[in-house]
Amino acid sequence: MSAMTSLVTTVQPARWQDYVQLLKPRVMSLVVFTGATGLVCAGTPVHPLLGAVAVLCIAVGAGASGALNMWYDADIDAQMRRTRGRPVPAGRVQGSEALALGVTLSMLSVMFMGVALNWLAAGLLAFTIFFYAVVYTMWLKRSTAQNIVIGGLAGALPPVIGWAAAAGEAPANAWLLCAIIFMWTPPHFWALSLYTSEDYEKAGVPMMPVVAGAASTRRQILIYSLLFTPICLVPAFTGLGGAPYLAVAASGAAVFLVLAFRVWRSHAGESADPRLDGRLYDVRAGAKDARNLFAFSILYLTLLFATLLAEKLLGVASFMDLTAGAFG
């Protein structure tokens, strides 16, 4: 009877919103934004419907990766405060359903991208899904402290996919956008993990603060920030960004470096915060510097891509064209 009762309680009614949650809508919104920026920055005229389809395919592909991630990581998710309410660990959706949804949407998004736009974009989308679901989720995440460094490539590729969808090629400027997100990922995630490392430790995920300690993580945040911020200025000198972009990138880089320096000097991540239960973004005073860097990193990346997007849509001349005009 007891077994029967527990069997009945595992079957909860799955609402359609639970399947939407499997697609990680918040991650999708970021991917839509960076993918659309790549599409617009390509500068190739695309029919508005096909442009929308390209962005939709990128979003659905990212969602499919999310569903595959939630299928495979249900055991980890069940142990972490941030993720234990997700549909699979909470028992509202079966793991096999998440797997089926992920595989189906992966194939649909890649095939539709290939048929509607081109097969270079479709191939890049397929590679991104594979990299996130297999290389990052199934391999790197549980095996190395460099998981988010290498795995960050999956999150960095959408602008290249968008560019390829519009232009049918992926030139150096598209990869520059990829490099910006790729180098942004370590300081962004490590700043977050400095005040959530207890959760990762409990789940056995080898995040940097768990494996190398807080001091080493803070040092690496500073090193990656020193590498990341100059890259943000490069688009102004490759014909991609204009004067407004250079102003935003340079001033933001200065703030980013100051915040990273403060994290390096702080004691963030030295001990777990007992008040964190259920409140991911609330931290104790000692970890305030890590929280500030985490919050500003989101703002900075958004501003960089929003400025590029606005410049292209408004027809602002690139910084290189301006200087060539002034001195030429």
Q: How far is CA 209 from each of CA 35, 218, 221, rounded to the nearest angstrom?
A: 31, 9, 11
Of 13 and 45, which has the nearer Cβ to other proteins? 13
Q: Does 45 bind other proteins (CB under 8 A)?
A: no
Say whether residue 12 binds other proteins (CB under 8 A): yes
Q: Which of 22, 34, 40, 47 binds other proteins (CB under 8 A)?
A: 47
Nearer to other proteins, 13 or 274 (CB): 13
Whether 188 contacts 144, CB under 8 Å: no
CA-CA distance, 279 to 308, in Å (whole number)?
A: 34
- Residue of 27, 78, 99, 116 interacting with other proteins (CB under 8 A): 116
Q: Give the bridge partners for 242, in sequence order.
A: 318
Among 5, 314, 327, 328, binds other proteins (CB under 8 A): 5
Query: Among residues 22, 40, 53, 64, which is the contact residue for other proteins, using CB under 8 A?
Result: 53
115 binds other proteins per the rule CB under 8 A: yes
Q: How many CB atoms lie within 10 A of CB 301?
A: 21
What gap in Å lies between CA 295 and CA 316, rounded to an integer? 29
Closest approach, Cβ 109 to other proteins, in A, equals 11
> Which is nearer to other proteins, 109 or 217 (by Cβ)?
109
Find tokens 């962005």 and name the residue: 55
Nearest partner of 312 among 247, 243, 249, 241, judged by Cα: 241
26 contacts: CB under 8 Å, gap ≥ 6: none
272 closest CA partner among 195, 170, 327, 158: 195
Choices 32-40, 47-55, 138-146, 224-232; region in contact with other proteins by CB under 8 A: 47-55
Q: Does 13 bind other proteins (CB under 8 A)?
A: yes
Distance CA 51, CA 117 (A): 8
In the bound complex, what is the minimum distance in angstroms from residue 131's beta carbon to other proteins?
A: 26
Contact between 50 and other proteins per CB under 8 A: yes
* Torsion angle of the four alpha carbons 234, 301, 183, 80, in this order, in degrees rounded to the nearest 10: 180
Residue 162 or 241 having the CB closest to other proteins = 162
Residue 111 Cβ, how far from other proteins at the closest point, in Å?
11
Q: Which part of the chain contacts other proteins (CB under 8 A), choosing from 1-9, 26-34, 74-82, 182-190? A: 1-9
Q: How many CB atoms lie within 10 A of CB 304?
A: 24
Nearer to other proteins, 6 or 285 (CB): 6
Contacts for 306 with CB less than 8 Å, ≥ 6 apart: none
Count of residues of this chain found to bind other proteins when the rule CB under 8 A is applied: 21
Using CB under 8 A, pick the residue from 14, 212, 215, 247 that binds other proteins: 14
Is 328 a binding residue for other proteins by CB under 8 A? The answer is no
Q: Which residue lies nearer to other proteins by CB, 66 or 242?
A: 66
Residue 119 binds other proteins (CB under 8 A): no
Instruction: Look up residue 242 and give its DSSP letter.
Output: B
Q: With beta carbons less than 8 A apart as the criterion, state whether 275 and 282 touch.
A: yes
Per rule CB under 8 A, is residue 100 in the interface with other proteins?
no
Nearest-5° angle of CA 81, CA 203, CA 275? 35
Among 45, 49, 285, 327, binds other proteins (CB under 8 A): 49
In the bound state with other proteins, the residue whose beta carbon lies nearer, of 59 and 249, is 59
Residue whose tokens read 């007891």 = 2
Q: Which residues bind other proteins (CB under 8 A)?
A: 1-2, 5-6, 8-9, 11-16, 19, 47, 49-50, 53, 56, 112, 115-116
